Amino acid sequence: MRARRVVRENEPFSGLTAADTVSLQERLGGLVRVRGRHVRIIRVVGHVLLPSGTLLCIQSAKASTAALLAWLAYADPSLRSLDIGARLERFGAEGDLGTLLARLFVAELDAAIRRSGLVLDYRRQHERGGFVRGAIDFRRLIRDGHNLAKITSTSWQRRRDTPLNRVFAAALARVRSDPMLRDAAPESVDALRTRFADVETRVDVALLEGKTPLQRTESAFQRAFDLARILLMHGGHGEGRETDGVAFLINLEGLFEATVARAFAESGRVRARPQAPLHYRIGLGGRPLKRRTLRIDVLCDGDGGPFVVDAKFKAKVSAGNVQQMVTYVAMTGARGGALVLPGAAGDDGLIEVVVRPSPEGTETIRLQVVHLDTTATSLEGWRRSAADLVARALAGTDKTTSSTVHRVEG
């Protein structure tokens, strides 16, 4: 039995060996902060097997395991079959997210097979000999001079090696290779693996990314398919290089940014452009100007003009965040902007940046700080949180009290 250690995302801990620390840094890059003997892992949840043999489980104080599952379903519309709500109570809604996903996947796949049987494909097969299997190819028989020892017949062969079953075979192999995922339901995993023993684990990328929908005959497997996709897509590397070994990790920063973008895009109140490009030119030391591009998390176009939205998965706004937003606002000609952080609506505030473009006058840029509630455990709960976020961001400073206003002069 491997030793397991639970730590909190963005909270320092100690006790790792030097080899374990180096392994984490190689895998997660800038998501690992080391100060002396203390290590802090930021913006990621999941688990990783360290060289010492310890399974390090990283959990978040900002969102429970059940909330993370619903969060994934909201951020990616192709995963919205995962809105399973109260059914989580049967599987345990807390603990390691990967373990919960593996348990759900095995149960859903087994139930779908029991209801509908495995999805099979049929391939045309030609056979030649002194026997008949299927339909006789009479044209070929005539060309062969009616040679009954070489009759060509055509039949349909049933195959389990379909694109969907390859996804399931790959996900089961993934679960079996990870001790933490395998322990979720070891007997069921082994039993299911025998059903896919002759199925390849090479997966179609478009199918894995949700770009290719399932066929009508495969609809009974939608939820199992979506769970398999999550298990396969989060193979265990963050900002560092891709590293061999056992890990299941979800980058919360990327998930948060995708969620904020979807909230504004689906609101119907503005025209939202996620990852909007912002082009500029730069030239130093007399060298020719070179074109560069910045990406804005969300650029909104509404009745009052452009509005910049920047998502930051962190507890507090830094001076660098403010400078970045001022740059976005100035370069786009926006009427203002919103910095979105995880947290409660009661923590919202306003930052006023007084800019002196010339000795003759000043300009005040108003940046709202709004928070997205990340505790909802259902898809409907996430929709409400997203709608509330957009409403507060677009409401301007109507509900902002003077105690939450910070003025910065520059």
Residues 357-389 have pLDDT tens digits of: 666 677 888 899 999 999 998 889 999 999 999
Would strands 38-41 and 349-358 be described as parallel, antiparallel, or unpaired? Answer: unpaired
Average pLDDT, stretch 41-58?
A: 93
pLDDT of res. 23: 93
pTM: 0.81
Higher per-residue confidence, 406 vs 140: 140
pLDDT band with cut points at 50, 70 and 90 for residue 398: very low
Would strands 271-282 and 290-302 be described as parallel, antiparallel, or unpaired? Answer: antiparallel
Q: Which residues have C-beta within 8 Å of that of residue 301, sequence separation ≥ 6?
A: 270, 271, 273, 307
Q: Which amino acid is at 378?
A: S
Q: Which residues have C-beta within 8 Å of that of residue 408, sequence separation ≥ 6?
A: 322, 351, 352, 353, 354
Phi/psi for 299 (5° steps) reads: -110, 115
Average pLDDT, stretch 194-211?
A: 88
pLDDT of res. 290: 83
pLDDT band with cut points at 50, 70 and 90 for residue 238: very low
DSSP3 helix / strand / coil % (the chain, rounded to 5): 40, 30, 30
Domain parsing of the chain, residue ranges: 1-62+236-250, 66-119+165-233, 121-129+137-159, 266-281+290-409
Phi/psi for 32 (5° steps) reads: -115, 125
User: Which has the minimum average pLDDT: 18-22, 152-156, 287-291, 300-304?
Assistant: 152-156
Average pLDDT, stretch 259-277?
A: 94
pLDDT band with cut points at 50, 70 and 90 for residue 237: very low
Taking each helix axis as running N to C, give the angle between helix 65-75 and helix 252-265, from 0 to 180 degrees, rounded to the nearest 10: 50
pLDDT band with cut points at 50, 70 and 90 for residue 79: confident
In this predicted structure, the answer to whether residue 349 has a pLDDT above a threshold of 80 is yes
